[in-house]
Chain A
Amino acid sequence: MRADLIDIQVEDRGEEVEISLYGVLGEYQLSAVREKLEMLVRGPGVFFFVNLQNARFTTDDYRGLFLEILNLVKQQKATLILIFDSEELHAYFERYRNIFEIYRSREEYRKSGLSKQVHLVGLHYEKRSISLSPGFAVFVALFLIGWAVTLFVIVVGQGREISDKQAQITVLESQKARYIREIDRLESAIGPMRKLGVVQDTTLLSSFGAIQDWVSYLEYLEKNRREK
């Protein structure tokens, strides 16, 4: 292994891995670059950014190498993104620009679309399943748990309110029955006295209920008419 032919930098941020290549890369360095890239993309990671901004290729063989790396990355259900912003490199990868994802920077890739942003936070679609990154999975789980807890609290709160109201209704109904019984008892108690005229029946009192004789009644009528 002759790894000292190339300058290489790996920045590992969990899901994101940025591999930067430096210097003039020709035939002589090809095997070393292949070996290093294959070794580095085999580890964990979902997004492999290969930064070629400071690299210059003097042979066409590197295009083939990057295709191989792309296949390798795809097999791991990950994404390979090439990062550079030079006309020379754009020309170099022109033939394969529909195959490779090429961006000027990692930031630009992040801002390149909603689906990618969702991807970046850790949601990945596959044909038969959806996989979530640990961070995103924890977030989703917390969200769902929070949602369920809120619903439960609302249901419990409303149930308690309904049972309170029902208790109130029951109390009022029993109170009503008690009052009716009490009134009946009182009426039956004063019934004989009312017949004897000892007790005035106030239940029949109305606007003219207090008029006890004809004279008063006629005076009441007269007065009412005048006022109208």
Chain B
Amino acid sequence: MSPSTSFENLEAIARNLLEGLNVLLDSEQVKCSIFLDGPMIEALYNVAKPLMFGKIQNAIRNGALEFLGGGYYDPMLPLFPEDLQMMQLELHRDYLKKVLGAEPQGYFNSSLVWEPGMADVLERSSFDYALVTEAAVQDALGRSTPVSGWFTLEDRGALIRIVPVSEVLSKAIAEDNLSWRSIAEAYCRDGKSAIALLDIPSEPSEIVDFFGRFVDFVETNEVQTRTVGFAVDQLETCGSISFLVSAGRRLGLPSTARTCRELLIRRPEINLHHKTFLNLYRRGRCVLSGKKWLEFCRSLLPVMSPLYFRDMFNRSGMRSMMVRKRSNRLLLAASQLLDDLTGFSGLRVDVCDFLLRGKKILFCENPESSYLLDYRFGGALRALNYKGAKINLVNSWRDDGEPSFAFLDCLLPNVDFTPVKLEQMLYDRKHLLADPYDYRILRTDSGTEIMLDEEQGFANEGRKALFRIKKLFTFLGDAAKFTVSYAIDNLAYVNTKGYFGTILELGLLSRGDVNKVLIDGKNVKWNMVEPLLYPDGKSLEIRDEKDSCVFRMAFDRTTSIFVGAIFGATSSAAPQAFQGIRVFPFWNAPFNVLDRKTFKISVSVTKR
């Protein structure tokens, strides 16, 4: 079994879980293993009465109940540095020992991911066996028939017992499929036991019922149940496995995925979360030691929760804007702690392969904000973090798997367009000026400037043009404010007419936040559905009061401003989930031969 905690409503879940466990222990016929992550055990500890804990401890002593170990926040261990893996495992083990007096023998991870190298970590954390998906063991053995029992896996001198979990049987039992018995028979030949995995529902109201149905299932069908540890100890080994990889389950990965790392490749939002985490970890490791380092690591542990690595809807994964905002909050809280522990003030510019994709990127940070500037993709911002409200403003979601950007420039051709047509063009990201730039870091008394300078080509229906664009970001050392200045020279000996503008895909506002967009101080009454085109504005303000964040843009001249919603698919496949707001300030820019145009945008983010 595994919990499905989403770290919400933990107290209600804990109360119902205790009641459910009571039902389970009263039956005396059911024996099972259970895994609860750290926050869940903490919640149980806070709400349980002493007698109930005594009852659970008795059941553990009698062998009716086994508590499995794992990470404190149930992370997918292969994605993280080894010392944090160990910290997660040790913290969970210590807490389990302290609260229930139980020493876990088996390792469990609700995502059931496995990668080479884990055997060593698990052996060092004193685990005897680990549960993995049956499909992964089948792959390793080159078999397609049902696999049960346990296998040994040796890796770099470390040994661990691998116990496959039958997904088919688990599904049949969970769905009350009457064919479960015939499915189980295939696993239970030669006195072996089949391991079935049932997920405890995350809705508090369904938990007691879940345990009731489970007890009913065992008693009605007269099924002999055991804990996993007991089954493993009683059975002989079924052989050895040389190489094991499991992409896991409930991650939103297609069945063809071989490893959980594909999440990082498929979804840029998850990759950004992961790489921001790694960046913080590396920085912390370089500058902290002793108690400060441990304190910082503790702030990183919740960031490792599987919730932030799932490509799933409805608050179960990163497709939910709420989950993305929560991931930002945790990361920025850890970043602020690191700033405090190191006494960071001023402004830092880091030229590094932040996203670990083999491409350098500029990471600028001050105590109030941080920016990820991709100079190789049109000098666009990949992240715009405001630490005051702990939010990344470039946090929308695109169903096509492309990352969101801010200040992604484009030159639209000189045609008539309606707001709807313009919205489609912006979604398709046509006519982008996104060639790689060269950059210079200029330190001045007023702040730090990033000067991007390169020729950018433009083509539309056979007509071609060439511009030299100087894009200058000026960051201040002590505020969430910056300016973006453009100087565009037409290098071609032809006149080019068009609309120059820059796209911002912001993860601001949430469903129902109507009338939160102001242009020139006036509420433009945007309904969050239909795109809006405002002809002449000099300032734009988006007030996300739920997240205590107000985003302001001021222009040096009258500007046409497009505002539209970004919708994504929901679990029912209709593109109805509000995923952010698209802003496109633009100017009519007829470029005569060797003409130069300049524009300037001032941006500030505040709490109110």
Chain A bound to chain B: yes
Cα(A8)–Cα(B346), bound, Å: 17
Cα(A40)–Cα(B346), bound, Å: 15
Tell me if B190 is interfacial: C-beta within 8 Å of chain A: no
B443 is contacted by which of A1, A6, A22, A43 (Cβ under 8 Å)? A43
Contact between chains at A3 and B443 (CB < 8 Å)? no
B residues less than 8 Å from A213 (CB atoms):
none
Contact between chains at A6 and B347 (CB < 8 Å)? no
Cα(A82)–Cα(B348), bound, Å: 18
B residues less than 8 Å from A50 (CB atoms):
none
Contact between chains at B348 and A17 (CB < 8 Å)? no
Contact between chains at A42 and B352 (CB < 8 Å)? no
Tell me if B442 is interfacial: C-beta within 8 Å of chain A: yes
Cα(A42)–Cα(B350), bound, Å: 18
Cα(A14)–Cα(B440), bound, Å: 19
Tell me if B539 is interfacial: C-beta within 8 Å of chain A: no
Cβ-closest chain B residue relative to A44: B445
Cα(A54)–Cα(B347), bound, Å: 21
Contact between chains at A22 and B439 (CB < 8 Å)? no
B residues less than 8 Å from A4 (CB atoms):
351, 359-360, 376
Tell me if B349 is interfacial: C-beta within 8 Å of chain A: yes
Tell me if B444 is interfacial: C-beta within 8 Å of chain A: yes
A residues 31-45 in Cβ contact with B at 8 Å? 36, 39-40, 42-45
Tell me if A86 is interfacial: C-beta within 8 Å of chain B: no
Residue among B286, B346, B352, B360 with most chain A CB within 10 A: B346
Tell me if A13 is interfacial: C-beta within 8 Å of chain B: yes
Cα(A14)–Cα(B445), bound, Å: 8
Contact between chains at A11 and B443 (CB < 8 Å)? no
Closest chain B CB from A13 CB (angstroms):
4
Cα(A39)–Cα(B442), bound, Å: 7
B residues less than 8 Å from A88 (CB atoms):
none
| Known A1-B438, A40-B441, A40-B443: A9·B352 in contact at CB below 8 Å | yes
Residue among A7, A10, A22 with most chain B CB within 10 A: A10
Cα(A214)–Cα(B358), bound, Å: 135
Cβ-closest chain A residue relative to B347: A12
Contact between chains at A9 and B442 (CB < 8 Å)? no
Closest chain A CB from B342 CB (angstroms):
10
Contact between chains at B438 and A44 (CB < 8 Å)? no
Closest chain A CB from B90 CB (angstroms):
28
Contact between chains at A10 and B352 (CB < 8 Å)? no
Contact between chains at B348 and A11 (CB < 8 Å)? yes
Tell me if B477 is interfacial: C-beta within 8 Å of chain A: yes
Cα(A1)–Cα(B345), bound, Å: 30
Contact between chains at B353 and A7 (CB < 8 Å)? yes
Contact between chains at A10 and B353 (CB < 8 Å)? no
Contact between chains at A3 and B346 (CB < 8 Å)? no
A residues less than 8 Å from B359 (CB atoms):
4
Contact between chains at A3 and B438 (CB < 8 Å)? yes
A12 is contacted by which of B346, B352, B360, B438 (Cβ under 8 Å)? B346
Contact between chains at B440 and A39 (CB < 8 Å)? yes
Contact between chains at A7 and B352 (CB < 8 Å)? yes
B residues less than 8 Å from A44 (CB atoms):
443-445
A residues less than 8 Å from B350 (CB atoms):
8-10
Contact between chains at B445 and A11 (CB < 8 Å)? no
Cα(A39)–Cα(B443), bound, Å: 8
B349 is contacted by which of A1, A9, A42 (Cβ under 8 Å)? A9
Chain A facing B: main interface SS: mixed
A residues 109-139 in Cβ contact with B at 8 Å? none
Cβ-closest chain A residue relative to B475: A12
Tell me if B448 is interfacial: C-beta within 8 Å of chain A: yes
Cα(A214)–Cα(B310), bound, Å: 134
Cα(A196)–Cα(B475), bound, Å: 110
Closest chain A CB from B384 CB (angstroms):
20
Cα(A9)–Cα(B349), bound, Å: 6
Contact between chains at A8 and B438 (CB < 8 Å)? no
Closest chain B CB from A36 CB (angstroms):
8
Cβ-closest chain B residue relative to A7: B352
Cβ-closest chain B residue relative to A18: B348
Contact between chains at A12 and B477 (CB < 8 Å)? yes
B residues less than 8 Å from A6 (CB atoms):
351
Cα(A10)–Cα(B439), bound, Å: 14
A residues 9-29 in Cβ contact with B at 8 Å? 9-14, 16-17, 22
Contact between chains at A43 and B351 (CB < 8 Å)? no
Contact between chains at A13 and B346 (CB < 8 Å)? yes
Contact between chains at B352 and A22 (CB < 8 Å)? yes
| Known A4-B360, A44-B445: A10·B348 in contact at CB below 8 Å | yes
Cβ-closest chain A residue relative to B447: A12
Contact between chains at A3 and B448 (CB < 8 Å)? no
| Known A1-B438, A3-B439, A17-B443: A11·B286 in contact at CB below 8 Å | no
B residues 166-188 in Cβ contact with A at 8 Å? none
B351 is contacted by which of A3, A17, A42 (Cβ under 8 Å)? A3
Cα(A44)–Cα(B445), bound, Å: 6
B residues less than 8 Å from A1 (CB atoms):
438-440
Contact between chains at A54 and B348 (CB < 8 Å)? no
B residues less than 8 Å from A9 (CB atoms):
348-352
Cβ-closest chain A residue relative to B444: A43
Closest chain A CB from B180 CB (angstroms):
56
Contact between chains at A14 and B346 (CB < 8 Å)? yes
| Known A10-B349, A12-B477: A3·B444 in contact at CB below 8 Å | no
B residues 424-466 in Cβ contact with A at 8 Å? 438-445, 448
A residues less than 8 Å from B360 (CB atoms):
3-4, 7
Cα(A39)–Cα(B444), bound, Å: 11
Cβ-closest chain A residue relative to B358: A4
Cβ-closest chain B residue relative to A43: B443
A residues less than 8 Å from B349 (CB atoms):
9-10, 12
Cβ-closest chain A residue relative to B353: A7
Cβ-closest chain B residue relative to A4: B360
- Per-position binary interface string of chain B over residues 245-270, scored 1 when its CB falls under 8 Å from any chain A CB and 0 otherwise: 00000000000000000000000000
Cα(A11)–Cα(B286), bound, Å: 14
Contact between chains at A12 and B440 (CB < 8 Å)? no
A residues less than 8 Å from B438 (CB atoms):
1, 3
Cα(A26)–Cα(B266), bound, Å: 35
Cα(A87)–Cα(B351), bound, Å: 26
B residues less than 8 Å from A11 (CB atoms):
344, 346-348
Contact between chains at A42 and B439 (CB < 8 Å)? no
- Per-position binary interface string of chain A over residues 35-73, scored 1 when its CB falls under 8 Å from any chain B CB and 0 otherwise: 010011011110000000010000000000000000000
B residues less than 8 Å from A14 (CB atoms):
346, 477
Cβ-closest chain A residue relative to B344: A11
Closest chain B CB from A168 CB (angstroms):
59
B residues less than 8 Å from A13 (CB atoms):
345-346
A residues less than 8 Å from B445 (CB atoms):
44
Cβ-closest chain A residue relative to B342: A11
Closest chain B CB from A130 CB (angstroms):
21
Cα(A10)–Cα(B366), bound, Å: 12
Cβ-closest chain B residue relative to A10: B349
Cα(A16)–Cα(B345), bound, Å: 11
A residues less than 8 Å from B345 (CB atoms):
13
Extra contacts besides A1-B438, A9-B352, A10-B441 (8): CB < 8 Å: A3-B351, A7-B360, A10-B350, A11-B348, A12-B477, A14-B346, A39-B442, A40-B443
The 3 closest A-B pairs by CB, nearest first: A43-B443, A13-B346, A4-B360
18 A-B contacts (beta carbon < 8 Å) = A3-B351, A3-B360, A3-B438, A3-B439, A8-B350, A8-B352, A10-B348, A10-B350, A10-B448, A11-B346, A11-B347, A12-B347, A12-B348, A12-B448, A12-B477, A22-B352, A43-B443, A44-B445
